[in-house]
Amino acid sequence: MKTIFLKNYIYLDEIEHKNLLAIRNSKSIQDVSFTKESISFKDHMAWVENLKNDKSKKYYAVIYGQKIVGGVNVFDLDAKVKWGIFFNDEVSLIIRSIIPIYFLDFIFRHYQKDEIFAEIKKNNTNAISYNKSIGFKVLSEDDLVIMRLDKTHYLKAKDGIILKRIIKKMSLYDFKQEG
């Protein structure tokens, strides 16, 4: 069985942080990020240091095949729970499909919330389309698209053809999580 590992940013070593930051600073990610500038390693590490004391945010590197292939996050845990995700350009479609489902299940189960929000730049049409396909509804649309997924609607969407196929593929993977 293939393993997908979600490792909290605060537990990454220096090389892992550099690999993660390389993905985050890639053109394809910067084009759809709120912060378009490259992030320096020093600034990244200072931000990670702040995460150690911030209980309202959890950031995880996605590790597959001994390589960091992206990241997922959940934040504003005391208010409206929001999520985000990014991958390097080379990661397979199956990994891009199963990680979000695994992570959304984790958020609903672990944080016991009835809804999850996403804030996506309007030019990130792939993320908007994907979120819609798993049940997110658009609440508002300007330069920023605000989306909401309620747990009941998500559970119904999981009975649909597309998500059933993804969930079936998930059974081929072992998921591990640290932090």
Report pLDDT digits (tens) over 1-25: 899 999 999 999 999 999 999 999 9
| pLDDT value of residue 116 | 96
Nearest C-alpha neighbor of 150 from the set 132, 135, 130, 171 = 135
For the chain, what are the domain ranges?
2-178
41-57 pLDDT tens trace: 999 999 999 999 998 99
Residue 36 pLDDT > 90: no
Considering only the top CATH level, what class is 2-178?
A: alpha beta
Q: Using the structure block, give the residue that is written with the tokens 């979000």.
A: 100
Mean pLDDT for the chain overall: 92
Q: Using the structure block, give the residue that is written with the tokens 């992206």.
A: 70
Task: Find how far residue 47's CA is from the centre of its chain.
Answer: 18
Single pTM value for the model: 0.92
Contact of 116 with 131, CB cutoff 8 Å = no
Nearest C-alpha neighbor of 56 from the set 34, 71, 73, 44 = 73
E-strand ranges in the chain read 2-8, 57-64, 67-75, 82-87, 115-121, 137-141, 144-150, 173-178
78-126 pLDDT tens trace: 778 999 999 999 999 999 999 999 999 999 998 888 999 999 999 999 8
Contact of 29 with 39, CB cutoff 8 Å = no
Q: Are strands 2-8 and 173-178 parallel, antiparallel or unpaired?
A: parallel
pLDDT band at 175 (very low <50, low <70, confident <90, very high): very high
